[in-house]
Each structure stands twice: as C-alpha cells, then as structure tokens.
Amino acid sequence: MGGSRLLGCAAAVALAGVLGLAAGPVAALPIAFDSPDLQAPETISVTASGLIAGGPIPAKYTADGKNVSPPMHWTEGPAGTKGYVLILQDPDGHMAEAVIHWVVYDMSAKVFSLPGGMRNTPEPTNPLGAAQGWNSHDTVGYTGPRPPAGDGPHHYHFQVFALDRVLHVHPGAHLDRVLGAMKGHVIARGELVATYAAPKPAPKPESQP
C-alpha cells in the first residue's frame, strides 16, 4: 500500500506540472502505515465527525481555525485486542519526515472514540488512562493542519492500530518510542484520509480612480 501511495503522489505531481497547475510537495514521505513492522489486516473502520474520507478538513480543526482535535471513532478490533494507538501524520510536508500532528496511545481495549477538543496534556482524563505524545510542532497533543500557502492539498492520515498488548510507554513520549513499542504487536488497523490546503488570500480591493 505504501508503494502505491508514493507512486500515486508522484504521478499527481507530474500531471500538475504538465497542466501548469500549482504543485505541492514532490513526493509523499513514509508514515506509520508504511512501516513493515506495523502491517496487519485493515479491518478497522475509522471515522471523524465532520470529516468525509478524501474530503477537506473543516477549518475549525486546523491551525488556521480553532486548532481543536476532531471527535474520532473507530470500530472494535479483533479478539485479543488489548489497546489502541491513534497517529495523525501529513506525508506531504517539506520536512525530512512526515509531519506528526497527533499521537494518542495506551488507550484501553474498551475505548472506541476520542472526544472533540481533547486537552493538550500528556495524561488526558478522557479517555482515562490514555497518553499523548509529542508532535512535530514541539507540543504535546493535537496540532491541526497548516500547510504552506501555494501548496496543493496535503493529505492527513488518521491511523488507528489495534494491539495485542498494552504499551506502558510513559506519557509525553516521542513517536519513535511509541512505534518501537508497537513493533510486532499490531493485529488490526485502519485509517481515514482527509485533505487540507491553505486558504487563498482575499483579493485586494480595486483602487478607485
């Protein structure tokens, strides 16, 4: 899946160049879903209030708006599920790695949703027992999309992983630490992909003669 996603992005950029359209990033960067260590059946359905798969993310969930996290929902994992991890990444950024927007881990096997507007704290009280990690903007918790002006729409991957163990990773961890603990323990997964592009600047008023 990861290879086809990278090829698809490259083809889209090439087509944009031929048509003279505004081009975004050159190629998509790897995300958690692409890791060989995190492969599993994609049997989990991921949804978010106000988001449609492939559609634009409402402004209130972006850093151009209120910058609050959207309410998330997913279906139950298979027998043997001990917990869930949610990772939100943008592979279309201009960084050395995919931009990390949200990491939530050590959610219990009984948790199938996250409330909207979660507090940006390492140990949220809802859901109780869960932990949040660092994002690419050097804060803990959620930070919404804000791609550079002039880019085409970026793709935001809300990835949910069902695990056969509780990670017991300390709250406020970096994504690398969480991914290392997940290695070999993913038994199901799913994702929701939505898009967002920087708002176009308002046209300048015409000068009066």
Cβ 192 vs Cβ 51: under 8 Å = yes
Is 169 a domain residue? yes
Sign of the four-CA dihedral 177, 181, 185, 188: negative
Identify the domain containing residue 82 by its residue range. Answer: 28-196
The CATH number of whichever domain residue 163 belongs to comes to: 3.90.280.10
Share of the chain above pLDDT 70, in %: 84
pLDDT, tens only, 22-61: 444 457 899 999 999 999 999 999 999 999 999 999 999 9
Is 201 a domain residue? no
Is 83 a domain residue? yes
CA–CA dist 46, 199 (Å, integer): 26
Is 44 a domain residue? yes
Look at residue 1 and tell me whether its pLDDT is greater than 50: no
pLDDT, tens only, 112-156: 999 999 999 999 999 999 999 999 999 999 999 999 998 999 999
Is 47 a domain residue? yes
Is 5 a domain residue? no
Which whole number is the average pLDDT over 73-85? 98
Give residue 28's pLDDT: 87
CA–CA dist 199, 197 (Å, integer): 6
> Which of 17, 23, 15, 57 lies closest to 155 in space, CA to CA?
57
